[in-house]
Structure 1
Amino acid sequence: MAAPLEVIVSSDSSSQLWNCTVFDLHSGSSLLSYRGGNSSARTLTVLRGEFLLSAQFGKNFINVWEIQRKDQLQQKIVCPGVVTCLTASPNGLFLVAGVAESIYLWEVSTGKLLSVLGRHYQDITCLKFTDDSSHFISGGKDNLALVWRLCSVIQLDLNHTPEPRHILSRHSLPITDLHCGRMGAQARVATASLDQTVKVWELSSGELLLSVLFDVEIMSVTFDPCEYFLFCGGGDGNIFQVALCSQTLSRDRAFHSDTDGNHVFKGHRNLVTCLSVSMDGTLLLSGSHDESVRVWDINSKQSIRCLAHKGPVTNAVIVPAPAHMFLPDSRPAVALPRFSRHLHGSEGDGGESGEVCVRLGLCTQEEAETYLQKADRLNSLMNAVTDKSVFGDGENTKVRVAELEEEVQTLKKINKDLYDFSSQLLTKPT
């Protein structure tokens, strides 16, 4: 059988049989399982397609498996406290974890702790990177979602305290989940909250684009790949599909099913903790506290498969199948180093003598050029090129100006002679 293009990776809180398991998206058959401990919610992540990571529930360490060695826990990354959320950058260079109200950022290649961010006032609940790894977003129990520019976080000046690029502060209760769309720094971000709303933001400006009010608490949220629809998992087990391309122009709206493409997926009996959509946008995956993971056909709104678990589902996501997952003899190209628990390698776990750590300098932290500034710069450049092509440059400019002035005087004289001739012709007696 050929290796699948996409697989389901899920975990539950009981861990009676395994920590997390891999299912075939289309057949529902179990392909792999990873043993050792259990995974807390919003901490399951794939690193570089070679490692599977998840934070141990209620403990201060992260479990690490080589993606193809399912039966053996390879490593434990010890953290300063209990990890509440975890994610890896899509380019595989950085690992970000939420520990209480702080964000810890590691460099994967060296294991060095690059930064500790403390702008949240309560525990962090979710973390997500943009698809180009340039930004990440954090949501917390303090009702805030913060947008961080990665280059400002891993800056060179250690005395400088990084500040978030935007503070998204329109929620009135803790944020339960967030999802970042495509297009890098131009992406749209959706945030879900216990205040029964889901809000859609523009990442580049931090502006609120849409706020949808529901009659239940929203525990999970995701877009489809084309961002035509917003899927919201409710505390009552229902999944709400919101049409983002409807004719409604209001920024604030209440959810009404069966209007403008809005629909409800019914099947779960308890709150929906996680949502994910396949790459082609036809299948929706949902995990719930009713101890099941369901696969839905989005067009028909029907549940086509139910994967039973032994406890409340904590993580369920559709991911492209890593190349090494089904090759038992393969090994990661680079092994993971020992991760530091303290900033800048204190406690003696820093690098070897002579090791050089390269970080982005302050020059990379300048504000991005706006479209108007870019247009003005290009217009000035075009004018300069035009002037140079007409007048030349250096000493030739004065010569060319003199020639043009002389030509203007000649034309003026010709024009005066024509005027005099015409006047004489018109005033000549017949």
Structure 2
Amino acid sequence: MAAPLEVLLSSDSGSQLWNCTVFDPHSGSSLLSYRGGNSGARSLTVLGGEYLLSAQLGKNFINVWELQRKVGQHLAQLSPPRSVCLLCFLTDQVCTGKLQSVLSRHYQDVTCLKFTDDSSHFVSGGKDNLALVWSLSSVVQLDVSHAPEPRHIMSRHSLPITDLHCGLMGAQARVATASLDQTVKVWELSSGELLLSILFDVEIMSVTFDPAEYFVFCGGSDGNIFQVSLCSQVRNMNDHKLKTDVGKTTRVMKSSCLHRNMVTCLSVSMDGTLLLSGSHDETVRLWDIQSKQSIRCLTHKGPVTNAIITPAPANMFLPDSRPAVPLPRFSRHLHASESDGGEPGEVCVRLRLHTQVSASVFGDGENTKVRIAELEEEVQTLKKMNKDLYDFSSQMLTKPT
């Protein structure tokens, strides 16, 4: 049987036999199971298509698996008494394992953390009712005398934020935040402006967009899942006071087998036809979005902590393959000693094709100057290509039929 294009990853807090299970979302069959502890909520992530990582539930270490191995290892021991409650990685930029920055801008616990699709920014939400937009370039800096500050502070929620989702388009993306104040708010990431506020009659515990961003899906504390059209309701994207009534503007997933407890995880397939939901009622459900019917139920051993649909990594079903680059042990200290490897001021970045480039940010050596010149020339070439493509498209669109 051919490997699926997408897989379903799920975990719960009660299983004693495995940590995470991989399912085929179309057949519901179990494909792989990874053993070792239990994953905390919103902490399960695939790194670079080669590793699976999760924060150990209630502990101060991170579990890591090679995608082909079923037994986990402890990747990092963090300084007690801190415990890892969230885990979110850039797609391909973990290389040295050195601690780059420590952010302490939230006033209470951080509840959710998401990167944009281009990894240029990330958004954090917390129990202090705030959602903060961070620029990665300002966070990973070498000037340790200045603490990084968020690019935007989104402060329109009146109760703790429970979940957030970043759409597509990188720094131009829209961000949805869910809160115990019974609202879901949609923001413009580039400006931090509020675009839409949707009022419900229940607390909202999870939120996600479909890939086309026609709809926002919201998981309630009562087990209901709401579907809100962004196209029909958002007539004026600059109307910051726009609020909608749940009875008139949402369509609820219909089934005789609705979740019996809060919906804490939501994810949509790449083609926008399937919705995945995970709940504290110890089930994961797949829904057909068009008919709004539950088509599959996967029973777990405890409250579901993670449930996501993700493209199937190429190495997941190749038992003889191994990661191209080993994943290093994470440092516990912000200022690593020189004996930890690497020169002061050196930044190492892993590219998508598993090539590594080390660049010294101090000094102005000839190699650095040459590389800068090459990059500037490449930028000019890409700008010309973009202009040519735009001119060609304009001609085709305005050409008389």
TM-score, length of structure 2 as denominator length = 0.82
Percent identity of equivalent pairs: 74
Superposed CA RMSD: 1.9
Aligned-pair CA distance for 1:252 = 2.6
**Counterpart selection for 1:256 from 227, 246, 257:** 246
Would you say the 8 A contact 2:16–2:37 is kept in 1?
no
Aligned-pair CA distance for 1:247 = 4.6
1:147 aligns with 133
**Which whole-Å CA distance do the structure 2 matches of 1:157 and 1:353 have between them?**
18
1:105 aligns with none
1:96 aligns with none
Q: Which has the higher contact order (CA 8 A, sep 6+)?
A: 2
Aligned-pair CA distance for 1:248 = 5.6
1:276 aligns with 267
Letter in 1 for 2:12: D
What secondary structure is seen at the aligned counterpart in 1 of 2:22? Answer: strand
Aligned-pair CA distance for 1:254 = 3.0
What secondary structure is seen at the aligned counterpart in 2 of 1:327? Answer: coil
1:322 aligns with 313
Aligned-pair CA distance for 1:157 = 1.4
**Which whole-Å CA distance do the structure 2 matches of 1:319 and 1:79 have between them?**
28
**1:86-137: CA deviation from partner (whole Å, max 9, x where unpaired):** 11113x21xxxxxxxxxxxxxx210000000100011111110000000000
1:14 aligns with 14
Q: Which protein is bigger by CA-based radius of gyration? A: 1
**1:330-371: CA deviation from partner (whole Å, max 9, x where unpaired):** 10001111210110215x8x5236576228979xxxxxxxxx
TM-score, length of structure 1 as denominator length = 0.77
Alignment: residue pair count: 344
**1:211-235: CA deviation from partner (whole Å, max 9, x where unpaired):** 0011110000000000000000000
Would you say the 8 A contact 2:61–2:74 is kept in 1?
no
What secondary structure is seen at the aligned counterpart in 2 of 1:172? Answer: coil
1:56 aligns with 56
1:379 aligns with none
**Counterpart selection for 2:121 from 121, 135, 147:** 135
Would you say the 8 A contact 1:246–1:261 is kept in 2?
no
Would you say the 8 A contact 2:125–2:131 is kept in 1?
yes
> Structure 1 residues 213, 110: CA separation in 2 closer, same or farther (over 3 Å shift)?
same
**Which whole-Å CA distance do the structure 1 matches of 2:141 and 2:171 have between them?**
19
**1:237-272: CA deviation from partner (whole Å, max 9, x where unpaired):** 000001000156464323434x45633445111000
Would you say the 8 A contact 1:125–1:175 is kept in 2?
yes
What secondary structure is seen at the aligned counterpart in 2 of 1:276? Answer: strand
**Which whole-Å CA distance do the structure 1 matches of 2:181 and 2:249 have between them?**
24
2:86 aligns with 85
How do 1:108-257 and structure 2 match up within 5 A? 108-247=94-233, 249=235, 251-257=241-247
Would you say the 8 A contact 2:49–2:313 is kept in 1?
yes
**Which whole-Å CA distance do the structure 1 matches of 2:166 and 2:345 have between them?**
33
**1:130-156: CA deviation from partner (whole Å, max 9, x where unpaired):** 000000000111111100000001112
Would you say the 8 A contact 1:66–1:74 is kept in 2?
no
Letter in 2 for 1:24: D
Would you say the 8 A contact 1:64–1:77 is kept in 2?
no
Letter in 1 for 2:323: P
Aligned-pair CA distance for 1:78 = 1.4
What secondary structure is seen at the aligned counterpart in 1 of 2:8? Answer: strand
Does residue 289 of structure 2 align to residue 298 of structure 1?
A: yes
Letter in 1 for 2:157: H
**1:249-308: CA deviation from partner (whole Å, max 9, x where unpaired):** 464323434x45633445111000100000000000000011000000000000000001
Unaligned runs of 5+ in 2: 349-358, 363-401
Aligned-pair CA distance for 1:79 = 2.0
Would you say the 8 A contact 1:273–1:288 is kept in 2?
yes
Would you say the 8 A contact 2:211–2:268 is kept in 1?
yes
Letter in 2 for 1:358: V
Would you say the 8 A contact 1:65–1:75 is kept in 2?
no
1:388 aligns with none
**Which whole-Å CA distance do the structure 2 matches of 1:79 and 1:43 have between them?**
15
**Which whole-Å CA distance do the structure 2 matches of 1:122 and 1:85 have between them?**
14
Letter in 2 for 1:214: F
**1:301-336: CA deviation from partner (whole Å, max 9, x where unpaired):** 000000010111000000000000001111000111
**Which whole-Å CA distance do the structure 1 matches of 2:193 and 2:205 have between them?**
23
Would you say the 8 A contact 2:15–2:300 is kept in 1?
no
> Structure 1 residues 248, 86: CA separation in 2 closer, same or farther (over 3 Å shift)?
closer
Does residue 341 of structure 2 align to residue 352 of structure 1?
A: yes
> Structure 1 residues 312, 353: CA separation in 2 closer, same or farther (over 3 Å shift)?
closer
Structure 1 runs (4+) greater than 4 angstroms displaced: 353-356, 359-362
1:309 aligns with 300
**Which whole-Å CA distance do the structure 2 matches of 1:248 and 1:48 have between them?**
36
**Which whole-Å CA distance do the structure 2 matches of 1:248 and 1:147 have between them?**
23
**Counterpart selection for 1:343 from 324, 334, 337:** 334
What secondary structure is seen at the aligned counterpart in 2 of 1:185? Answer: helix
**Which whole-Å CA distance do the structure 2 matches of 1:314 and 1:131 have between them?**
23
**Which whole-Å CA distance do the structure 1 matches of 2:78 and 2:153 have between them?**
26
**Which whole-Å CA distance do the structure 2 matches of 1:216 and 1:329 have between them?**
49
